[in-house]
A and B are shown apart, each in its own frame.
Chain A
Amino acid sequence: MPREEGSKLSRRAWITTTSGVIAAGLVKTQSDAIRLVAQEAPVSASDPTRVPGRLVSGIGSRAPAEQPRRLVRAEALSSSSRTPLADLMGTITPADLHFERHHGGIPDITYENHEVLVHGMVDRPTVFRMSDLTRFPQVSRVQFLECSGNGGGVYNRDRMPTEVTVQALDGLLSTSEWTGVPVSTILREVGVRPGASWILAEGGDAAVMSRSVPLDKVMEDSLLAYGQNGERLRPEQGYPVRLFNPGYEGNTCVKWLRRIEVTDQPTHTRDETSKYTDPLGDGTVRQFSLMMDAKSVITFPSYPYVLPEQGWWEIRGLAWTGRGRIVRVEVSTDGGRSWVDAQLQGPILPKSTVRFRHLFEWNGRDTMLMSRATDETGYVQPTVQQLWEARGPSTSYHQNHQRAWKIARTGEVTFGLGELV
């Protein structure tokens, strides 16, 4: 087990060294004790108040029985892994469980050698090293990151799954405390020229991921993020620095950032034309649909959980919006016929996830659980029928519609939206 690696002395070694064996002079050193212990038959579970515990270690690890994992769908260069939302509490995603979406694999980039070039419609084209970027005044913010393809597995009426976990469906969502330098600070440093209206952000990975972002947006609140939950960015999240556009679709938050070009037009890259665009029912295609609209998901109970008995249960979930703060989350336990306000766990931060909870007494009958979020603009998370009506059948991105979990009499929980459409 990984936890043993950091420990100089196992529990059984301690038992041994504190027993009569050491007094008999048979064990003189720590390694003698470990060798001796290794020859012993496994000991049964003992009272942990009667034996000293393990020693301090250089790095912590999870309890052996607690091993949440990202869900990897395909081992390919362009692929994703999903955050185990049902295993998590509160709002922060442990960095090693943050979802991944790469288009050309994870590059090996060293902190010391990495450079970010800022040029285009600027007065002073400049190359920044990480030591430069981290020296600028720094900010930290707790904000969500969501792939706009999240939930795309249920855009199709004919392929609505029932046995799907919240991780498989909506696990391209994570929340972190991001630390970095505001893009506005960097652009102030280089001097933006008149007429500029967009930037092109480009990554240093094998896909050279490229996205255009409106200048007003990056000036408002975007970061060059180099910190994630108290440590430096993880390689899977763009080490050593990424663009982070709060509330915008994840793909615009270009990882392994190596270049920002200030422009007066979008570049119309592949990932903002042939991908990450939304074909609508009238034959047109919605482009630069960057904002992540309000959404909520119930993470408990959800497939494959089985409620072992009727009685009091707490429905728990996450809600978020790219447009600011969530102001309300409602929960339905009758398939959307009636709704009650869920409790929101403060502090409610802008462009971040909020944990909602609703105490519910299950009577043992067939039940359909749903949630819907409202954000501060008054936007209410739509039904799937409303999205289909507005967009037609071909749009798989931005599927932020209400979800449903069905509880059968057996207590088995399955994805229930198919029964409502």
Chain B
Amino acid sequence: MSPRVRVRSCRRGVSGWRGVLGLGTVIALAGCGGTPDGGRMAATEGGVAGGSGEAIPAHAPERFGFGASADAARVAMWDIDVRPDGTGLPAGSGSVAQGREVFTLYCVACHGPTGTEGPNDRLVNTEQWDAYPTGRAVGNYWPYATTLYDYIRKAMPQLTPGILTPDQVYGVIAYILWMNEIVPEDAVMDAQSLPAVVMPARDKFVVDDRVGGSGPVR
């Protein structure tokens, strides 16, 4: 990796952005935006990202000094995402049995008693999806178990989002994974065990290979 951030010019619609899919696998991704005015972006120096010539005049200062410094406590207040390697997972734990109680209280109304009845998204399916979108569920489609934590903590239950404690979130994830036959009934989810869960759909996900141009339709 280059010791500095490098922003590439896009040449007539074909360029590349580098992405990391999965854990630590660096893959070159095709399919950049390719603006006709692509040449205006310059390589950057010293870790300072280059600005758009459209926006920043040459006589602009290196830094404007707008905004307030965010200390660790301020960042921690909002830094709630969880990544596949477990980064961001809080302390706490929950078992399948504890999760069953949480599920009954908060989830059944929208997802059904077995996570298949709806009316909202189907959560449980151990078979290959047969039809879009009804067949897609955690068990056969979600590539990472950590995504459950990221999403449930942020957006569930729908009418009272953010209400669940870490123990409850871990528990309900354990229960959902158990219903999908991914973890055993005595499983306990925490910051160590959750990222270690290998989801059935993990290896199905591939990089977008559409590149524009007159080649084959993708």
Contacts and interface: CB of A to CB of B under 8 A. Distances in A.
A285 interface: yes
Contacts of A77: 158
Interface in A116-167: 117-119, 123-129, 132-133, 135-139, 155
Nearest to B142: A274
Nearest to B31: A291
A266 B212 contact: no
Contacts of A125: 69-71, 74-75
A197 interface: yes
A136 B208 contact: no
A214 B29 contact: yes
Contacts of B207: 286-288
Contacts of A290: 31, 208
A130 to B, nearest CB: 11
Given A215-B17, A389-B217, A324 B75 contact: no
Interface stretch (A276-284, A308-316, A355-363): A276-284
A192 B52 contact: no
B155 A207 contact: yes
Counting contact residues on chain A (CB < 8 A from B), the size range is 35 or more
Contacts of A170: none
A182 B51 contact: yes
Majority DSSP secondary structure for residues of B touching A: loop
Contact of B147 (A138, A139, A268, A395): A268
A302 B67 CA distance: 50
Interface string B194-213: 00000001001111111011
A324 B36 contact: yes
Interface in A41-79: 77-78
A287 B50 contact: no
Contact of B79 (A119, A219, A280): A119
Contacts of A277: 205
Contacts of A155: 132
Interface in B85-103: none
B33 A247 contact: yes
Given A103-B155, A284-B204, A216 B32 contact: yes
Interface string B32-50: 1111111001001001111
A261 B54 CA distance: 24
Given A377-B13, A377-B213, A117 B20 contact: no
Contact of B155 (A189, A206, A273): A206
Contacts of A280: 206
A191 B46 CA distance: 9
Interface in B43-89: 44, 47-52, 54-57, 60, 63-64, 66-71, 74-75, 78-84
Contacts of A382: 217
Contact of A323 (B34, B48, B60, B143): B34
Given A207-B155, A219-B50, A185 B205 contact: no
B55 A185 contact: yes
Contact of A289 (B69, B75, B210): B210
A323 B13 contact: yes
Contact of B52 (A124, A139, A351): A139
* Most chain B C-beta atoms within 10 Å of own C-beta, residue among A192, A284, A293, A395: A192
Contacts of A261: 79, 81
A221 B34 CA distance: 10
Interface string A179-216: 00110110111011111111010100011101000111
Contacts of B212: 291, 293, 323, 375, 377-379
A123 B208 contact: no
Interface string B140-169: 011110110011001100100100000000
A265 B83 contact: yes
Contact of A139 (B19, B54, B132, B133): B54
* Most chain B C-beta atoms within 10 Å of own C-beta, residue among A123, A155, A286: A286
Interface stretch (B3-11, B173-181, B182-190): B3-11
Contact of B64 (A135, A193, A200): A135
A188 B48 contact: yes
B210 A219 contact: no
Contacts of A138: 55
A320 to B, nearest CB: 13
B56 A185 contact: yes
A197 B19 contact: yes
Contacts of A289: 208, 210
A288 B3 CA distance: 26
B67 A274 contact: no
Given A279-B129, A284-B206, A270 B37 contact: no
24 contacts: A103-B155, A117-B70, A118-B70, A129-B67, A184-B50, A192-B49, A194-B47, A200-B81, A207-B155, A214-B18, A217-B17, A219-B49, A258-B78, A261-B81, A266-B20, A273-B147, A274-B141, A284-B206, A285-B205, A287-B208, A323-B33, A324-B34, A376-B34, A378-B212
Interface of B: 1-5, 7-8, 10, 12-21, 23-24, 29, 31-38, 41, 44, 47-52, 54-57, 60, 63-64, 66-71, 74-75, 78-84, 128-129, 131-133, 136, 138, 141-144, 146-147, 150-151, 154-155, 158, 161, 201, 204-210, 212-214, 216-218
Interface of A: 77-78, 103-104, 117-119, 123-129, 132-133, 135-139, 155, 181-182, 184-185, 187-189, 191-198, 200, 202, 206-208, 210, 214-217, 219-221, 246-248, 258-259, 261, 263-270, 273-274, 277, 279-280, 283-291, 293, 322-325, 350-351, 375-380, 382, 386-387, 389-391, 394-396
Given A219-B49, A248-B33, A270-B151, 8 more contacts: A189-B64, A197-B18, A202-B81, A216-B15, A217-B32, A221-B33, A285-B143, A291-B31
